[in-house]
Structure 1
Amino acid sequence: MNETQLQFYSLYLTRFAEGFGFITLITLLPTYINVLEPSSTTILGITISAGFIIGMYTTGFTLAQTAAVVPLAWAGDRFDKRTVLVGSLLVGIVAYALFPLVDSSASFIAARALQGIAVTGAGLMSLSLVGQLAQYGTRADHIGKANAASFAASIVGSLSAGFLYDLFGFTPIFMIIVLIMVIATGGLSIFLPPDETRIKGFPFSDLALNQKILTMTSFRVQYAFSVTMVRTWVPIYAGTAAAAGGLGVTAAFAVAMTVTAEKFTNMVGQLFTGRLSDGYGRSLFVFFGGGMYGVIAIAVPFSPQIGAAIGAPTALPYIGEISIAFVPLVLLSGLLGIVDSFREPASMALFADEGTSEGGVASSFGIRELVWRPGSVLGPLIAGWLMIEVSMASVFYVGGAFAITGALLFLMILATHHGRNALSAW
């Protein structure tokens, strides 16, 4: 194993550590709500409801992420990316070490805010370094492998967190996360040399007007709504009572299968699709993956009809009775992961290409992160309103439409500048 491979593997391990900590907290969030029992409180004469406090369990994390993107991306371009990455992991180690000690909603929200800063810094810097270290012709391949490591962590974390909590409680789980992050930090310190690139000024201002990044942004802004709505509502559709438009699958393991199917196929796919997009054209993979994601999303509410047509089973071992639509739903969720695996490494490589060539790869990924925020915040609000006021199916129709219109706008802009060669230009 040569020196360059060790550098990439240390970054892949960092992606695994980041993903494992993130998904473990998501999985244990309902448990923390039950343990902390948040209740309404009054501050300066203003009553804050329990619902708002519970919302802050997630929003505190998201707000910290949003606030951290620009300064961390700027620091990564202006100084040593490895130092910023190691610093982010150290913040993460502190945050995860604090979670077993939290005894109130305020302390939990504060720890989540620290986690948000750590996840943002680790994600931005690890991807920036992967993109910077990789040669142009292998960039999407290496990014795909880095993403696969993160998805592997998501699968392991989501399947093991609840089981480990039932056996050992909070503390051992977070000690495992801390240990993995310490190992990742040590690997970076040993195998990854200091980053000597230094970008003066404020690269965000130049990159924000870059034609290729603006074109990618036109797609990504819409796609964020699609993925956030669809990915969040597939398990809700599986587990919600039939009267509310869902399938009424009661076994938690069965519902988790819909999430795991998407993550597993995405993980496996990115081990190969990044390399393919390096060879056949990244814009083609973004258009195909994004457009097909929308098509498959629209098919999700037709799971009962698909199940009836193919004679899907109505009972499974260890799970019991299930809706005839459940197996088709798991298969569709797996297909969502496959088509998204075409898009993701190609999209990231395009941002890395521009950031590397224009000076400011961390800022390029920072822009990529920022344009995702409106969809990630507003998407669930739109989906919740649609579910209650219109129908469960409408969530997937609207979510799918966002992906399709985003892909078509992306193609139209490309065609305007590159004509018939639009999908092979980049």
Structure 2
Amino acid sequence: MTERQKQLRALFFTRFAGAFGLVTLLTLLPTYIEVLGAEGFVVGMFVTGLTFAQAVAVIPVSYLGDRYDKRTILLVGLGLAAAVYGAFTFVETSWGFVLVRGVQGIAATTAGLLGLALVGQLARDSKRGNTIGKSNSWRFAADIGGTLSAGVLYDNFGFSTVFGLLMVVTGLAFLAVLAWVEPDETTVEEFAFFDLAVNRRIATITSFRAQYAVAVTLVRNWVPIFAGVAAAQGGLGFNAAVNGATAVSLTIVSARFMNMLSQPFTGRLSDRFGRARFVFVGGLAYGIAALLVPFTPAIGSALALPATFPYFGELSAAFLPLLAVSALLGIADSIREPASMALFADEGTGEGVAASFGIRDIVWRPGAVVAPLVGGWLMSSVGIDWVFFLGAGAAFSGVIAFVGILSYDHGREGLAKW
């Protein structure tokens, strides 16, 4: 194994560790709400505290990562994350949870942003999409493992064991970076953030990404809601089944599993055939798959699929179609994501790769914050189906903007230029 491969594998594991911690806490949020007796505004802060801290941390972490040694700051982020998981065991109040969750957001942004920046920087130009795809696969593996294991560990062993495991995983990531990742000497004196923000290629991809954030946030969050809520609210009511929560979790895992399997392959194809085509195809396919979600009951009925399943009991004829559509959403996103991320890495390498990924993160935030509010309003006022229609529309409008700018800049062959 070459030195470059050792460094990349250590960084892949840091992405696994970061995602594993985030998804484990996300899975346990309902439990914390019950245990701490949180209500109203405080419940919202359980989510917003993390999101706000992540947003605030992006610019300073981007600057520090480009100005100084990324490896050192990554180690600080991992060390802070390990300490945070230890602190969770002492939380006894709702506001204490919000505070520690905010610090988790800072640690997660530091480790996640700089780990990804180092992956993009170390990847060879001709294999950058494939390398980023492999890195993302580790992240999705952590999402799946954390989603499936968090509840089981808590039910059998309690919070202390859960957070003890997170401290061990994060500590191993710290040691791997310390042992195998070399100090980063590609520092940038100026703050590249604002220069890259007006970079033509980055501006073009952000025109897509800002709108696509609405699509992904709505669809990714409302597929399990659609599966779980009662028919009176427009959903399939899986939660009424014997093991309904498991049925709902399968709809989440199917998308992540297919995304995990596909990304190294689709990333390699984007290295070979060009990034822009894959952003276009992935965005278009995601919009089409999103449109199919509300029609899964009709698809199940038309195909005369079963509505009763072993272990679960009575679910719906829409269960298998929803699993299939969820898997299609994962595949569609796997086509787009490594190509899009590689574009940011291509532009940032040598000029400020941490700043480039910081811009990528910030552009996503407005849509990710506003979309759930709009989705909740649509669900209560005109019906849950319209959440998916809006998500599909946002994906399509992002694709149209992306192709339109490329065509304006490069003519009819715009998609072939990147």
Per-residue deviation, residues 33-82 of structure 1 (Å, max 9, x unmatched): 010012xxxxxxxxxxx311110011010110010000001000000000
Which residue of structure 1 lines up, in the alignment, with residue 168 of structure 2?
A: 179
- 1:425 equivalenced with 2:414 (yes/no): no
- Aligned-partner SS, 1:246: coil
Aligned to 1:352: 345
Q: Which residue of 1 aligns with 2:383?
A: 391
Determine helix, strand or coil for the equivalent of 1:372.
helix
Partner of 1:364: 356
Shift of 1:267: 0.5
Q: Choose which of 358, 375, 379 in structure 1 pairs with 2:367.
A: 375
Q: Distance in 2 between matches of 1:105 and 1:180?
A: 26
Whether the 8 Å CA contact 2:229–2:238 is kept in 1: the answer is yes
**Per-residue deviation, 1:378:** 0.4
Q: What pairs up with 1:20-419 in 2 under 5 angstroms?
A: 20-38=20-38, 50-250=39-239, 251-357=244-350, 359-419=351-411
Tell me the secondary structure at the aligned position of residue 285 of structure 2: helix
Is 1:19 the counterpart of 2:55? The answer is no
User: What CA deviation, in whole Å up to 9, does each residue of 1:286-320 have, x standing for no partner?
Assistant: 01001110111011100111111222211111011
Give, in whole Å, the separation in 2 of the partners of 1:155 and 1:311.
30
- How far apart, in 1, do the equivalents of 2:306 and 2:417 lie? 46
Distance 2:225 2:232 in 1: 13
% same residue: 53
Structure 2 counterpart of 1:43: none
Give the unaligned 5+ runs of structure 1: 39-49
In structure 1, distance between residues paired with 2:184 and 2:95: 37
Alpha-carbon distance in structure 1 between the residues aligned to 2:48 and 2:156: 29
Query: 1:206 & 1:253 partners in 2: Cα distance?
Result: 47
Distance 2:4 2:206 in 1: 32
Cα distance in 1 for partners of 2:203, 2:339 equals 16
Residue 420 of structure 1: how far off its partner (Å): 2.4
Q: Contact conserved, 2:282 with 2:332, CA < 8 A, in 1?
A: yes
* CA displacement, residues 178-197 of structure 1 (integer Å, 9 cap, x when unaligned): 10111111111111110001
Amino acid at match of 1:362: A
CA distance in 1, matches of 2:144, 2:104: 19
Give the distance between the partners of 2:8 and 2:35, measured in 1 at CA: 40
* CA distance in 1 between partners of 2:306 and 2:134 (Å): 35
Partner of 1:46: none
1:16 and 1:242 mapped to 2: Cα distance? Answer: 37
Contact 2:28 2:150 in 1 (8 A): yes
Tell me how far apart the structure 1 counterparts of residues 305 and 189 of structure 2 sit (CA, whole Å): 60
Partner residue, 1:42: none
Secondary structure of the corresponding residue to residue 303 of structure 1: helix
1:102 and 1:166 map into 2 onto residues whose CA distance is: 18
1:18 shift after superposition: 0.3
**In 1, Cα distance between the equivalents of 2:416 and 2:115?**
28
C-alpha root-mean-square deviation of aligned residues, in Å? 0.8
Alignment check: 8 A CA contact 2:127 2:271 kept? yes
The within-5 A match list for 1:2-13 is: 2-13=2-13
Greater alpha carbon shift after TM alignment, 212-221 vs 200-209: 200-209
Aligned residues: 414
1:271: Cα distance to partner? 2.2
Question: What are the Cα deviations for residues 338-382 of structure 1, in whole angstroms up to 9, with x where unaligned?
Answer: 01000000000000000015x000000000000000011001000
* Structure 1 residue ranges (4+ consecutive) displaced by more than 3 angstroms after TM superposition: none
Give, as a single letter, the amino acid of the residue that structure 1 aligns with 2:407: A
> Contact 2:132–2:264 (CA<8 Å) still a contact in 1?
no
> Can you give the 5+ residue segments of structure 2 that lack an aligned partner in the other structure?
none
